[in-house]
Amino acid sequence: MLLLFSGKVYPLLCPYFNGSHATYSFVENSTNCLGESCLKKEYAISKEDALIITDVQNDFCPGGALPVPEGDQVIPILNDYIKIFKKANARIFATRDWHPPNHISFKAQGGPWPPHCVQQSEGAKFHPDLKLPSGTTIISKATDPLREAYSGFDGTELAHTLKTQGVTRVFVGGLATDYCVKNTVLDARKMGFETMLLLDAVRGINVELGDVRKAIAEMIKNGAEQATLEDFPEPLEAPPAEDPDTELLEKKPLTRVETKKKARMRPRGRYKRVRTERG
Ligand code: VGL
Ligand code: ZN
């Protein structure tokens, strides 16, 4: 009998890359690749991590007062990150632009922007599809009529709250890459947080073509790292118990590390199929 395991992930804690919370896995694919491209980075989320969701508000989404192109496309991705952080009991923060009606950034006050995210308005609400769990800490910013504040750290309790909660690493996504995300990431770096830019969960305005590219380059230059959902553990590819393939897989005893890892990971998304063939 011939068993073919396709796309199966064998996670292992790699002693050579154990400087931070990141663990690495060898991803074995159907061509039995053992080369460098198969070394997959995985972030194990703990209570020392926090997710910072930046300004996912109606006004920054299509149809809003200051729409970020494709701004709503970050929402399902952020909902996946929320699940990951919630499962790990890690803190979740949501910043919001929260302007008084006479804010200095508005055109009527000589600023660059149309009125947006005015306190208490519909446009200032978080997008209804964003599934912020109970326990999310809301950070309101840019509330002083005389000061612009793009960063979630600017004039807020964010740094203090993170530090008192023992957070050392932050993962930042949301809107807009070239304004509030950029300034939040740069401040996080200045304040000594290990900082991950969630590349698949950000979109930018690009007032000038290239603004987003430059913003990302500046964040990286200042020590931010990029991550996407692919860099987080997938569930171990054991199919559901009622699937006959399970029996075949379970016969091979799991190593101690595999058992631990499996216990930590709950399924998200669909199970990867494990193909079996008889020969
Ligand atoms: C933002 C422009 C004006 C942002 C806020 O959230 O990125 N951009 N106000
Ligand atoms: Zn604003």
Ranges of beta strands (E only) in the chain are 9-11, 22-27, 39-43, 49-54, 91-97, 137-141, 169-175, 194-203, 225-227
Q: Which of 55, 59, 72, 178 is catalytic?
A: 55
Give the global pTM. Answer: 0.76
Read off the amino acid at residue 14.
C
* 40 C-beta neighbours (distance < 10 Å), count: 16
Q: Which of 97, 117, 141, 187 is catalytic?
A: 141
**Fold of domain 49-251:** Rossmann fold (3.40.50)
Does pLDDT of 25 surpass 90?
Answer: no
Read off φ and ψ for residue 276, nearest 5 degrees.
-125, 145
Domain boundaries, the chain: 2-42, 49-251
How many angstroms does the Cα of residue 75 sit away from the middle of ligand 1? 17
**Nearest ligand, measured from the Cα of 178:** 1
Return the pLDDT at 230: 95
Cα(248)–Cα(265) distance, rounded to whole angstroms? 21
Cross-strand pairs, 39:
26
Read off φ and ψ for residue 181, nearest 5 degrees.
-65, -50
Return the pLDDT at 258: 54
55 is catalytic: yes
Return the pLDDT at 162: 98
User: Residue 84: which of 242, 268, 250, 225 has the closest Cα?
Assistant: 268
Does pLDDT of 182 surpass 60?
Answer: yes
Cα(96)–Cα(84) distance, rounded to whole angstroms? 22
180 is catalytic: yes
Strands 49-54, 169-175: pairing is: parallel
- What average pLDDT score do residues 65-79 get? 98
* 90 C-beta neighbours (distance < 10 Å), count: 19
| Higher local confidence (pLDDT), 61 or 253 | 61
3-class state of residue 44 by DSSP? coil
- What average pLDDT score do residues 260-265 get? 50
Cα(78)–Cα(73) distance, rounded to whole angstroms? 9
Return the pLDDT at 275: 42
Pocket of ligand 1 (CB under 6 A): 55, 97, 105, 113, 150, 175-176, 179-180
Cα(200)–Cα(56) distance, rounded to whole angstroms? 14
Lowest mean pLDDT among 40-54, 70-84, 182-196: 40-54
